[in-house]
Amino acid sequence: MSSYKGQALGGIGDLGALSFHETKNVISGEGGALLVNNQELSLRAEIIREKGTDRGRFFRGEVDKYTWQEVGSSFLPGELIAAFLCAQLEEAEAITAKRLASWACYHEVLAPFEAKGMLRRPVIPENCQHNGHMYYVLLSPEIDRQMVLDEFRCNEISAVFHYVPLHSSPAGQRYGRMHGPLDVTNKQSGRLIRLPLWVGIHPDQQNRVCDVLIRNCQKFFGVVGR
């Protein structure tokens, strides 16, 4: 339910990957989907999915027996998971509409405080249609993010900083490479907060989230009251 220049994400390259993890918009608890847009890759994708065998070709009558062809695994979802996901997909438009409405609510309430320099709201690039998956803010550099997160916790609001630069993670250091110190990446990672957003969140709950956020941001600007 997201697109770039009118083309669905996942349909732009030779291969696309979708996640149906429980934190996503459309879910099956775990699992995902591989979208194969290049016909030359479809058979290999099927073999990998079928535990490394050409079992699919056997059932279609293309070979008289199936054998192991290459490395693969058991990627097929069970019937219950597939049924759960199917129901989610049928409601994808409604789910996306609700998430976009909640996203827009945050965006409207926080606009005056972006104008005051306390935070920066998300920027949607031109020709992009997002799906309301998350709403985050970048705090002004003067604001102590941990103090804001502590206040959220004291008010029983689940807000997280979410973003840890990949290059600084153990796996990133072991497998990745970088050019230069990546100062901008490191700086931004210390400013980001992800606000609660789920299907069914009420505007009153969102206003409470914003009240806690702004009240604590104002402390660093010497302002009292929203």
Tell me the residue range of the domain where 157 lies: 92-219
111 shares a domain with 80: no
Of 69, 90, 111, the position where a domain reaches its end is 90
In a domain, 181, yes or no: yes
Q: Examine the domain organization and report whether 115 and 138 are in the same domain.
A: yes
Instruction: Check residue 223 and give its pLDDT.
Output: 59
Q: What pLDDT was estimated at residue 201?
A: 96
The number of domains in the chain is 2
Q: What is the dihedral of CA 171, 176, 180, 181, to 10 degrees?
A: -10
**Which of 38, 59, 90 marks a domain boundary?**
90
The residue written with tokens 């490479």 in the block is 177
Q: Are residues 13 and 31 in the same domain?
A: yes
Whole-number pLDDT of residue 74: 85
What's the pLDDT at 42?
A: 94
- DSSP at 34: E
> Does 74 share its domain with 111?
no
pTM as predicted:
0.88
Are 85 and 96 part of one and the same domain? Answer: no
Q: What is the pLDDT of residue 220?
A: 85
Co-location of 134 and 194 in the same domain: yes
Q: How many CA atoms lie within 13 A of 221 on its CB side?
A: 17
CATH number at residue 69: 3.40.640.10
Q: What is the pLDDT of residue 144?
A: 93
**Residue 82 placed within a domain:** yes
CATH number at residue 191: 3.90.1150.10
43 lies in a domain?
Answer: yes
Render each residue's pLDDT in the chain as its tens digit; 226 residues.
999 999 999 999 999 999 999 999 999 988 899 999 999 999 999 999 999 999 999 999 999 999 999 999 888 888 999 999 999 999 999 999 999 999 999 999 999 999 999 999 999 999 999 999 999 999 999 999 999 999 999 999 999 887 789 998 899 999 999 889 899 999 999 999 999 999 999 999 999 999 999 999 998 877 555 4
What pLDDT shows up at residue 15? 96
Predicted pLDDT of residue 219: 87
Tell me: do 168 and 215 sit in the same domain: yes
In this structure, are 63 and 120 located in the same domain? no
224 within domain boundaries: no
Give me the pLDDT at residue 145, please: 93
User: Is 29 in the same domain as 103?
Assistant: no
| Residue after which a domain boundary falls, among 44, 61, 90 | 90
Q: The tokens 């149906």 sit on which residue?
A: 20
Are 86 and 96 part of one and the same domain? no
Q: What is the pLDDT of residue 18?
A: 94
CA separation for the pair 208, 127 (Å, rounded): 32
Question: Is residue 192 exposed (0-12), middle (13-18) or buried (19+ Cβ within 10 Å)?
Answer: middle
In this structure, is residue 226 part of a structural domain? no
